[in-house]
Amino acid sequence: MKQLLAIVFALLVSVPALAVPAPGTLADPALEARARALQKELRCMVCQGESIDESNASLAADLRALIRKHIQAGESDAQIKQYLVARYGDMILMKPPFESNTYALWLTPFLVLMVCLGAAAWVVIRASRRPASE
């Protein structure tokens, strides 16, 4: 019976802790949602394949804190992105702009696809021209 009361007491004491925002999050749910959305648009410079929202790297944690600081200062999403691009370059954006310095980034997958399709077509044409073995 004492164990049951101890468990109930522990649960009742821990419930208010669930209502407190996690450390490093904004108290206003709308601002926190804005911060999370912005974090999903920015690439982790350590992991490269993850957004800073998903990454566990220390740099990503620092960038998440920096974004929240800028949001609390009243800056717009565009201003925050502009600040981070000035600091880290277009590579920080999950969807970098199509500009002369990012042509290779955007066009390389298509060029690789075209080379692979060309190689496959060459193999098929060559195989169809080969006389059938008897």
Q: What is the pLDDT of residues 13-24, one digit of tens each?
A: 655 544 444 456
Give the chain's count of helices (H) and strands (E): 5, 0
In whole angstroms, give the CA distance from residue 133 to residue 52: 58
Distance of CA 84 to the CA centre of its chain: 14
Q: pLDDT per residue over 23-79, tens digit each? A: 567 677 888 899 999 999 999 888 878 899 888 888 888 999 999 999 999 999 999
Tens digit of pLDDT for each residue in 78-103? 999 999 999 988 888 888 888 887 78
Q: Are 71 and 26 in contact (CB under 8 A)?
A: yes
Q: Which pLDDT score, from 0 to 100, does residue 21 have?
A: 45
- Would you call 93 helix, strand, or coil by DSSP? strand
pTM: 0.61
Q: From residue 40, how far is each of 33, 64, 121, 126 by CA, in Å?
A: 11, 10, 39, 47
Residue 39: strand, helix, or coil: helix
CATH code assigned to 22-97? 1.10.8.640
Which residues are 44's β-sheet partners? none
Q: Which residue has the tokens 């108290």?
A: 27
Q: Residue 95: which of 33, 32, 51, 36 has the closest Cα?
A: 51
Q: Report which of residues 1 and 98 the model is more confident about.
A: 98
